[in-house]
Structure 1
Amino acid sequence: MAKALVTLWVLGALQATAAAQNETGLPLACFYCKSGQSCHTVPQTCSSPQDSCIIVQEHNTLGAENSGTYQSCANSRQSLTGFLAFYFGDKVAVEIRSEICKSGDCSAESTPSRLAISNVRNGLQCPACYAPGSESCESNGNLRCTGGADQCAVVVGTLAQGSVAIPFAGRGCATRAACEIKMLESGVFTYKLTKTQCGPAPRAQTSSATRTLAWGPVTLGSIVPRVPLFLPALLGLILC
């Protein structure tokens, strides 16, 4: 019995070690960097269960135009990849491109680049609004969706930069990959979504009539505390 337990322990240790190795069998090492913070100039060795390098590029226009890149070791089974985008208005958008690889190649030192926000309409539309620092977001009109954003989304959560975090609520067009976000470390902000509801976007109406989503106003309730007095200072810090 004791020998069997030792064997299992050894196998587990070997598997854990292998998870942090690259395709050549050498220890996996990735650059670590987040725009606006100090970055390591030498790749950092990953530890189990991190089995990949990740690079996340972000461009957003949430009050101001921001671009940045995040690089680190990652667990491929828990990492979102591809193109993730929310469009909360004609000039309010979040675009994120995430890529992972089993070597350090995709995590080489890089300069943050601006992701082009698509302005090609795809014939769909969604109710839209964006309310930073608010517990609700009520749409007063429709947004024509663009690019691969074929979902209508209602989201509630917080966005953080450093030690500062504020609540936000939004409605609009989204890509399907964005609807999977629960917590995402990105190039500018860290997103934590406490509520995400998505559904196929309807065809754009030709009349001036507007439509609203069936699940009603976005509310945070007791999820995020109210901070009316401190909120202006928070917004000034995070959106500058």
Structure 2
Amino acid sequence: MYYNRTRAAEINAPIIVLEAALTMSSCLLLTCLLSAIAATGYGLSCIDCTSLSGTVCNGSSMVCPSGDYSCLLSYTVTSIGGMEISKLYIRQCAQNNLCSKTGSISLPNGKIKAGTTCCTSDDCLPPKPTLPPDSSEKNGRSCKACFAPNSKTCDTELFTDCVGNEMMCITQVSTTTGDVTSTTTVQGCSTKEMCQPARQMWNLNKMKVHLENTCLNNGVYVQPNLMLAAIALWLFWKSSC
């Protein structure tokens, strides 16, 4: 009897080992499948909406693409002649390089100020962005300045004086697609934050706005005394001809 039990144990041992191996393999396979599903099937969800009323909007939830994304809140104020003409709030999924920015662009008789904040939980509301303070102090630089609707270029000889921290000359081309298709080009003075990233994409309800920023960090830096010297040399050259 003892022999039979021992023999039976020896016969069943490989079967038990095989069953354990199969069970372990199944668990590993299930774990891998669940990991793959989690990696490909889950993404951060964020509210997607736009408001021109000057108040933070609320809208439907959308799942962000995979990668380095956060829920973004953008606040942009546009002024012409010192009067605010629009206050735009945007909530959407955005790549992390759009987060935590505050900057401004000066245009002919106009100003654009913007700020962004982010958060990283599903459908979260980021804190209200802050805008850069107004400044009228010229920093010694000037940039070509223009506003050209329905154009991808902006040929101008008009210059605007840069103020505050606006040490860059920016050319910004915005292309809107969707219900309305249009392209607008602006040039002016800009803070560094408004130049990066060079390519951006924003959702405006049923429309998408693609921004392309090209910036120069030297601008046109001319001291007043050098400007006077240049004018004097030009007048001397004209009188000699």
Q: 2:187 is matched with which residue: 162, 167, 171? A: 171
Q: Once the two structures are superposed, what CA deviation does each residue of 1:192-240 show, in whole Å capped at 9, x if it has no partner?
A: 2356243333434313779xxxxxxxxxxxxxxxxxxxxxxxxxxxxxx
Which stretch of the first structure deviates more once superposed, 11-20 or 146-155? 11-20
Q: CA offset at residue 56 of structure 1?
A: 0.2
User: For residue 26 of structure 1, what is the aligned residue in structure 2?
Assistant: none
Structure 2 CA distance for partners of 1:105 and 1:46, relative to 1, 3 Å: closer
Number of aligned residues: 196
Give 2:66's aligned amino acid: P
User: For residue 35 of structure 2, what is the aligned residue in structure 1?
Assistant: 11
Give 1:86's aligned amino acid: I
Give 1:133's aligned amino acid: N
Unaligned runs of 5+ residues in structure 2 are 1-24, 232-241
Larger radius of gyration: 2
Q: CA RMSD in A?
A: 4.2
Q: Once the two structures are superposed, what CA deviation does each residue of 1:41-85 show, in whole Å capped at 9, x if it has no partner?
A: 6x7374553752210001124798211111134443x53540243
Matches within 5 A, 1:120-159: 120-159=137-176
Q: Whole-Å Cα distance in 2 between the matches of residues 118 and 48 of structure 1? A: 39
Q: Whole-Å Cα distance in 1 between the matches of residues 203 and 135 of structure 2? A: 20
Residues 70 and 95 in structure 2, CA contact (< 8 A), matched pair in contact too? yes
Give 2:85's aligned amino acid: E
Structure with bigger strand share is: 2
Structure 2 CA distance for partners of 1:39 and 1:194, relative to 1, 3 Å: closer
Q: CA offset at residue 8 of structure 1?
A: 4.6
Q: TM-score, normalised by structure 1?
A: 0.60
User: For residue 184 of structure 1, what is the aligned residue in structure 2?
Assistant: 201
Q: Once the two structures are superposed, what CA deviation does each residue of 1:12-41 show, in whole Å capped at 9, x if it has no partner?
A: 333456753xxxxxxxx6444311499546
Q: Whole-Å Cα distance in 1 between the matches of residues 172 and 80 of structure 2? A: 14
Partner of 1:11, secondary structure, is helix
Q: Whole-Å Cα distance in 2 between the matches of residues 115 and 199 of structure 1? A: 19
Residues 67 and 187 in structure 1, CA contact (< 8 A), matched pair in contact too? no
Q: TM-score, normalised by structure 2?
A: 0.60
Q: Whole-Å Cα distance in 1 between the matches of residues 163 and 124 of structure 2? A: 28
Structure 2 CA distance for partners of 1:108 and 1:134, relative to 1, 3 Å: closer
Q: Whole-Å Cα distance in 1 between the matches of residues 134 and 217 of structure 2? A: 22
Give 2:140's aligned amino acid: G
User: For residue 216 of structure 1, what is the aligned residue in structure 2?
Assistant: none
User: For residue 68 of structure 1, what is the aligned residue in structure 2?
Assistant: 88
Which stretch of the first structure deviates more once superposed, 182-191 or 146-155? 182-191
Q: Whole-Å Cα distance in 1 between the matches of residues 131 and 167 of structure 2? A: 22
Structure 2 CA distance for partners of 1:47 and 1:141, relative to 1, 3 Å: closer
Q: CA offset at residue 9 of structure 1?
A: 4.2
Q: CA offset at residue 186 of structure 1?
A: 7.0
Q: CA offset at residue 98 of structure 1?
A: 1.1
Q: Whole-Å Cα distance in 1 between the matches of residues 213 and 57 of structure 2? A: 32
Structure 2 CA distance for partners of 1:181 and 1:61, relative to 1, 3 Å: farther
> Could you say which structure has the greater relative contact order, defined with CA pairs below 8 angstroms and 6 or more residues apart?
1
